[in-house]
Amino acid sequence: MNERKLFRESVFITLAFVGVLWCVKSWEYATSVDLSFLGIYPRTLKGSLGIVTSPFIHGDIQHLLSNTFPLAILGVGLFFFFRKIALEVFVIVYLSPSTASAREIPK
């Protein structure tokens, strides 16, 4: 695969994921629905859903902006330079913080 096509695909994959994050937040604002119930609740069965959904939930626009630019830059780099393992790395990085948070002992 030539580098130009690989770069375009890397940008597309990354921006598609970032776009989903923005769509979730936009929908949350447009409908005035609070999606915080999809966050992580440590050591509860209810909180298990948050392991998968919490990366899509952001407190406010500033929080989402703070995650957007690093995710876009690092995501393109990941999918461009490490194409063969990029999806596996992405899934591990996506789930690891959520899984660690779910294991915390509630205070």
- State CA 51 to chain mean position distance: 11
Residue 72, pLDDT score:
94
The tens digit of pLDDT for each residue in 72-99 reads 999 999 999 999 999 899 888 877 765 5
SS (H, E, C) the chain: CCHHHHHHHHHHHHHHHHHHHHHHHHHHHHHCCCHHHHCCCCCCCHHHHHHHHHHHCCCCHHHHHHHHHHHHHHHHHHHHHCCCCHHHHHHHHHHHHHHHHHCCCCC
Confidence of residue 104 (pLDDT cuts 50, 70, 90): low
